[in-house]
C-alpha cells in the first residue's frame, strides 16, 4: 500500500508536457497530469497488442485470479484512491460518493472474475452438435467520463480483461489523475503493457475510435460524442458498446406514500450531485399527491449538507467543471423566467469558491420547459404534475433518449404494468439508478446500445464463435 503522496508521485510524469488539475471545490492544484498525444497512443496500442496473446492463452481461471488480486490491491489503497478522487472530481468522501466509488471498483473486478461463462450447446440432436464459444477480441479501447471516472473505467476494463483482451484507456481530460492512479494500482497484479492509460485530448480519442488495431471501443459519455465514435469506427467495422446521454423519467403513481419514497427519490436524482447518466432527471407526480411529494422532497433536500469533499460531514459536492455549472445555471434560470416555482435552491453564492450549485427543486413547470427536455446533469430536478397514467407515460416516452426510468407505487403489479410501457433500457421500481454487477445494463433509443455487467457484459467483450461438428 502506498501513501497518498507516493501514489500521486507514481503517476506524475518525470518529463513531457503536463497540465495542472484543479480541485473543483476550491480551485487549488491537485496534481500534474501528462498530456499525451497520438504518438503515445500508437505506442500504447502496440504494447497492448504484443501483451494480449499471452494473456488470452492463460485461460479464464488464471485471468480471473489476477482480477481478484487486482480487487485486493484496490482495497489496500482504497483511502488514498478515494482522497484523490474527491480532490479531483469534487465528490465527497462519504455518502454514495468517493469511498463508495472505490468500493464499487473492487466489487466489479470481483464480479467480472467470478461470473461463470461456459460454452453453450445450441444443438445436439444426435446428428449435429453446435457449441457457441466467445473468443478474445484483441485490443479494446475504453473511453471514460468525468462523473464516475474510476468505477466506469472498471466497468469497461474488468470484463475486457476477463475475456482475454488487452485495454487502452482514454480518460476524460477533467479527471485523468483518478484513472491513472486506479490503473497504477491494478497494474500491480497484471502483466506489463496489458492495460495502459493515454491521457490526451480529442485527437487521441478520435484516433482510438478509428485505429485499425483496436477491435472494440467502449464509451460512456454524451450522445454527440457517441455519434462521432460510430462514424470514426465505421471504416474498421469495430464492435461498440455505447452508454450515452440520458434524461431519465420517474413516475409517482397516486397510491405512493410521499414520506416513504422521498429519500429514495432524492438519491435517485441527486447521487453524485446529479452528475450521473442514469440519475432521475424529471419527475412526474400524480396531482392527488403532488403537493405532498414536493413538501417531503424539499425537507429531505434541505437536510443534505453540501460542501468540500474532504469534509466528512458533506454528502453533496460541487459540479465538476464550469461548463456543467453554466448548463445547470442556464436551465434553472430559464425555468424561473417561465414562471416555474423554485421550492429550494436556485441561487448559487457568487462569493463561494468552486462550482457549487445548490440543491434545487422546481415545481409547477411545463413539460416542454428546457429544464425538462434537456439533460441538466446536475443538482436541479423538475417536478411535473400529471392527471392520468397515460399522460405520464406519453410524456416520459416523448424524448429521444431512454437510458433508465422508474415507477414509484405501493402496488407492485400496477408498477410493473406501467414499467412495461416505458421506453428505457432499465426501469426500476421504487428506486432509481441502482446498478448491480450481476444485472445487464444498457440504453434504448439514443442512449446507446450494447449491454454491460453480468454474463451479457462478458459476452459483449468477446467474439462469438460457433463450433459446428
Secondary structure, 3-state, 150-205: HHHHHHHHHHHHHCCCEEEEECCCCCHHHHHHHHHHHHHHCCCCCEEECCECHHHH
Which among 75, 101, 243, 452 is annotated as catalytic?
A: 243
Alpha carbons 169 and 190: distance in angstroms, whole number = 15
Of the residues 80, 88, 101, 277, only one is catalytic, namely 277
**Residues near 323 by beta carbon (within 8 Å), at least 6 away in sequence:** none
Q: Which of 232, 240, 231 is nearest to 209 (CA)?
A: 232
Residue 240: Cβ within 10 Å count: 18
C-alpha span between 9 and 459 (Å, rounded) = 37
Taking the C-alpha atoms of residue 431 and residue 415, their distance in angstroms, rounded to an integer, is 12
Q: How far apart are CA 34 and CA 421, in angstroms?
A: 47
What cell does 89 get?
472530481
Closest by CA to 109, choosing from 185, 38, 35, 218, is 185
Phi, psi angle pair for 130, to nearest 5°: -130, 130
Residue 259, H or E segment:
helix 258-270
Please classify residue 44 by burial: count the beta carbons closer than 10 Å to its beta carbon, then call 0-12 exposed, 13-18 middle and 19+ buried: buried
The values of phi and psi at residue 423, to 5°, are -95, 85
Exposed / middle / buried, residue 328 (Cβ in 10 Å: 0-12, 13-18, 19+): buried
**Letter string b/e over residues 156-195, b meaning 16 or more CB atoms within 10 A of that residue's CB:** bbbbbbbbbbbbbbbbbbbbbbbbbbbbbbbbebbeebbb
Residue 120 is among the residues annotated as catalytic for this protein: no
Tell how strand 426-429 and strand 404-408 pair up.
parallel
Say how many C-beta atoms besides its own lie within 10 A of residue 208's C-beta: 26
* Annotated catalytic residue 105: no
Q: Name the burial class of residue 413, with classes exposed (0-12), middle (13-18) and buried (19+) by CB atoms within 10 angstroms of its CB.
A: exposed
Nearest to 17 by CA among 255, 221, 199, 267: 199
H helix and E strand count, the chain: 16, 20
Radius of gyration of the chain (CA): 23
Rounded to the nearest angstrom, the gap between the alpha carbon of residue 203 and the centroid of all alpha carbons in its chain is 22
Catalytic positions: 243, 277
Amino acid at each position: 500500500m502506498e501513501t497518498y503522496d507516493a501514489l500521486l508521485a507514481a503517476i506524475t510524469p518525470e518529463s513531457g508536457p503536463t497540465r495542472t488539475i484543479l480541485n473543483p471545490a476550491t480551485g487549488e492544484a491537485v496534481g500534474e497530469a501528462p498530456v499525451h498525444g497520438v504518438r503515445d497512443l500508437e505506442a500504447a496500442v502496440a504494447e497492448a497488442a504484443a501483451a494480449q496473446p499471452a494473456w488470452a492463452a492463460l485461460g479464464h481461471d488464471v485471468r480471473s485470479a489476477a482480477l481478484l488480486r487486482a480487487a485486493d490491491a484496490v482495497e489496500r489503497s482504497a483511502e488514498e484512491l478515494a482522497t484523490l478522487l474527491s480532490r479531483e472530481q469534487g465528490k465527497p468522501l462519504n455518502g454514495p460518493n468517493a469511498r463508495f466509488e472505490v468500493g464499487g471498483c473492487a466489487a466489479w473486478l470481483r464480479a467480472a472474475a467470478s461470473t461463470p461463462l461456459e460454452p453453450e450447446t445450441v444443438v445436439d440432436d444426435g446428428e449435429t452438435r453446435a457449441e457457441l464459444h466467445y473468443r478474445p477480441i484483441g485490443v479494446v479501447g475504453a473511453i471514460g467520463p468525468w462523473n464516475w471516472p474510476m468505477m466506469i473505467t472498471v466497468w469497461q476494463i474488468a470484463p475486457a480483461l476477463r475475456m482475454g483482451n488487452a485495454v487502452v484507456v482514454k480518460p476524460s481530460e477533467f479527471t485523468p489523475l483518478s484513472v491513472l492512479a486506479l490503473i497504477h494500482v491494478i497494474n500491480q497484479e497484471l502483466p506489463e503493457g496489458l492495460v495502459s492509460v493515454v491521457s490526451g485530448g480529442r485527437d487521441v480519442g478520435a484516433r482510438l475510435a478509428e485505429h485499425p488495431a483496436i477491435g472494440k471501443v467502449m464509451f460512456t459519455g454524451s450522445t454527440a460524442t457517441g455519434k462521432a465514435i460510430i462514424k470514426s469506427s465505421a471504416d474498421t467495422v469495430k464492435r461498440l458498446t455505447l452508454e450515452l446521454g440520458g434524461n431519465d423519467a420517474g413516475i409517482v403513481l397516486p397510491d405512493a406514500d410521499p414520506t416513504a419514497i422521498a429519500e429514495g427519490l432524492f438519491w435517485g436524482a441527486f447521487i453524485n450531485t446529479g452528475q450521473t447518466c442514469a440519475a432521475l432527471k424529471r419527475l412526474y407526480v400524480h396531482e392527488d399527491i403532488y403537493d405532498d411529494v414536493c413538501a417531503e422532497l424539499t425537507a429531505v433536500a434541505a437536510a443534505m449538507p453540501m460542501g468540500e469533499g474532504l469534509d466528512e460531514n458533506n454528502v453533496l459536492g460541487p459540479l465538476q467543471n464550469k461548463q456543467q455549472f453554466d448548463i445547470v445555471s442556464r436551465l434553472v434560470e430559464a425555468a424561473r423566467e417561465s414562471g416555474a416555482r423554485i421550492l429550494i435552491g436556485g441561487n448559487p453564492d457568487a462569493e463561494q469558491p468552486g462550482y457549487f450549485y445548490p440543491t434545487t427543486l422546481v415545481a409547477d413547470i411545463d413539460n416542454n420547459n428546457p429544464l425538462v427536455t434537456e439533460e441538466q446533469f446536475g443538482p436541479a430536478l423538475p417536478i411535473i404534475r400529471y392527471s392520468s397514467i397515460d399522460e405520464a407515460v406519453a410524456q416520459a416516452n416523448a424524448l429521444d433518449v431512454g437510458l433508465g426510468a422508474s415507477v414509484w407505487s405501493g402496488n407492485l403489479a400496477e408498477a410493473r404494468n406501467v414499467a412495461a410501457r416505458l421506453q428505457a433500457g432499465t426501469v426500476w421500481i421504487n428506486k432509481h439508478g441502482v446498478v448491480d454487477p450481476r444485472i445487464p445494463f444498457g440504453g434504448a433509443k439514443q442512449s446507446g446500445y450494447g449491454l454491460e455487467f453480468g454474463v451479457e457484459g462478458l459476452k459483449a467483450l468477446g467474439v462469438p464463435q460457433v463450433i459446428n461438428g
